[in-house]
A and B are shown apart, each in its own frame.
Chain A
Amino acid sequence: MVELERRGTPTVLFTAQTFVHDAERSAASFGLAGLPLAVVPLPFTNQKPADIHRMAAAAFEQILAGLTKTIEPPKAVERPALEERLAFEGQDLLDAWGRMQADFLRRGWSDGLPLVAPTDRAVEAMLRGVKRSPGDIVATLEPGFGIATVEKLAINAVMAGCSPEHLPLLIAAVRCLAEPKMYIRNKAMSTGPHAPLVLVNGPKGRVANVNSGMCALGPGAPSASNTVLGRALRLSMMNVGHTYVGVSDMDTIGSPLKYACCCAENEAESPWEPYHVTRGFAKDASTVTVHFVYGICELHDFRSTTPEDLIQVFATAANNVAQVGTGLWLIGRRVDPRSKTEEKEHNTLFICPEHAQIFAKAGWGRREIQDGLYRAARLPFRTMMLNKEPKAMQIAHPELGWMTDHPDLPVPVVEDPTCFDIAVVGAAAGRGAYFYGAGEPVTMPVED
């Protein structure tokens, strides 16, 4: 709508009451505070046509006003405090720290857990983890177009509990978020529970003690680095990217994965080349990969001893049509309309070392697993379309209209075999993890 206004075309947008703050903030971040809205009580999704008609009719006068009445001067838009330093007083330092927690919660700057105080000394120490200057700009981070300087990321890293050796990893992760292909605006603001799954490869992850083995996704002392690094990324999304719940993060239910979801690949136990090599990096390079994921399903199998049997079990995790990405290719691809970067819907598999050995001993690599899953993970067309808009498929794939006459046709859950990303993670026992992904992963090198 803002782009149409820019071109001289007046607009008005239906917006559900719950999303008014979101719409106002979004329009303001694109430069047009006060974009006319026709506010309706509920989202139109999951409503019967008669109920939608009633809501639209009730909003009709707002539509007329939006089209014809001069836009009022922009409302005051909530802006973050610009002061670079904050001070809190208390009976003692612990009391002052408690007031900081309460203030940050009130402002929405906290993830809800206690934060480490980002004092000058702590931030200076954090900055020693990189060679870059504090004022260097790493990226501009959407949805709020926040300027991600090294110092701001260091402050959020301190608050998360990071050590200096984590900062280069955090910077690489933030660069992943800022890549146009990541389309972070969509994932940060969505009603879906998009959580950044962070996968670390290479020696710098080991220096930073990022756990790749037992209970790699935490919790617990062995995964302390994983927890704080994942948490630092979430805090950076919030305080640098301005992704705030109820304002610019409209997640319907939320997800515990959004607090922190980070680990390293267990390269030592993997029979294959490290994941980052498949992404075009040298084996001795250090990288961070971020893949936004909706949810996680266990890949449990203590019985199978052949790749074929394991694939059948894994495919049952992939065949989950209640998960938004399943079969989503039928209605198009995720696209940032500004950059026109397209994403296929990927899913990430963390295969445990024991299962990886079963595949490897039979001569299977990632490619064979991808191909096997692509063949095995299929659902009837009618099942796949249960939660998809038929008109969207007509637009995206008019050439596939014939499928409507074949409702029992098995249809692959992903667009092609490469939509399964595979890393080896975890300790002994036949239990891996299947992450239902949102779009494609992005990998960045870790730099000093």
Chain B
Amino acid sequence: MARLEILNPVAKTVEYSVKPAARLQAIDGATIGLYWNIKAGGDAALDKTEELLRARFPKARFKRYTGSVGWLMRHCTAEDADRIASEVDAVVGTTAD
């Protein structure tokens, strides 16, 4: 038998940790952000989502967003995230893929 010893090529990673937000107690009465990154078709999914949410939760309100920077995909900057977080209670997002 022969033994081949080698060095592992895989790098260790920097680890980050983010605490998830508390979920909504109720959707009725909440303001829901609908975030589209401008990729084709994502807006249609959010249209349907808003329609269904309105039907089930008549007191819910909605605000539409897309990122302030980008091209094929529009991205959310830190300032965008601050603004959205200050304006809505929850967000449904789509990247279209």
Contact = CB atoms under 8 A, between A and B. Distances in A.
Interface of A: 1-16, 18-19, 29-32, 34-35, 38, 40, 43-47, 49, 52-53, 55-57, 60, 63-64, 66-71, 80-93, 95-97, 99-100, 109, 117-120, 123, 140-141, 144-149, 151-152, 155-156, 159, 191, 235, 239-242, 250, 324, 328, 331-338, 340, 342, 389, 391-392, 395-396
A141 to B, nearest CB: 7
B2 A53 contact: no
Interface in B64-89: 66-67, 69-72, 74-78, 80-82, 84-85, 88-89
Contact of A10 (B2, B17, B23, B47): B23
A32 B6 contact: no
Nearest to B89: A9
Interface string B17-47: 1111111111100001100001111111111
B97 A10 contact: no
B11 to A, nearest CB: 4
Contacts of B3: 87-89, 96
Contact of B84 (A9, A49, A92, A144): A9
Nearest to B45: A56
A147 B7 contact: no
A3 B76 contact: yes
B25 to A, nearest CB: 8
Interface of B: 1-27, 32-33, 38-49, 52-53, 66-67, 69-72, 74-78, 80-82, 84-85, 88-97
Identify the interface centre among B20, B23, B66: most chain A CB within 10 Å of its CB: B20
B9 A69 contact: no
Contacts of A70: 23
A330 B43 CA distance: 20
Contact of A149 (B11, B78, B89, B93): B11
B11 A4 contact: no
Contacts of A88: 3-4, 6
A31 B92 contact: no
7 contacts: A6-B18, A9-B33, A12-B91, A81-B8, A117-B6, A145-B15, A337-B78
Contacts of B26: 68
Contacts of B16: 29-31, 145
B77 A389 contact: no
Given A44-B44, A100-B4, 5 more contacts: A32-B20, A56-B46, A85-B6, A239-B9, A338-B78
A215 to B, nearest CB: 29
Nearest to A16: B97
A43 B97 CA distance: 4
A173 to B, nearest CB: 16
A191 to B, nearest CB: 7
A146 B9 CA distance: 11
A372 to B, nearest CB: 26
A88 B7 CA distance: 11
B67 A337 contact: yes
A86 B20 contact: no
A126 to B, nearest CB: 10
Contact of A147 (B14, B23, B33, B82): B14
Given A9-B85, A100-B4, A4 B71 contact: no
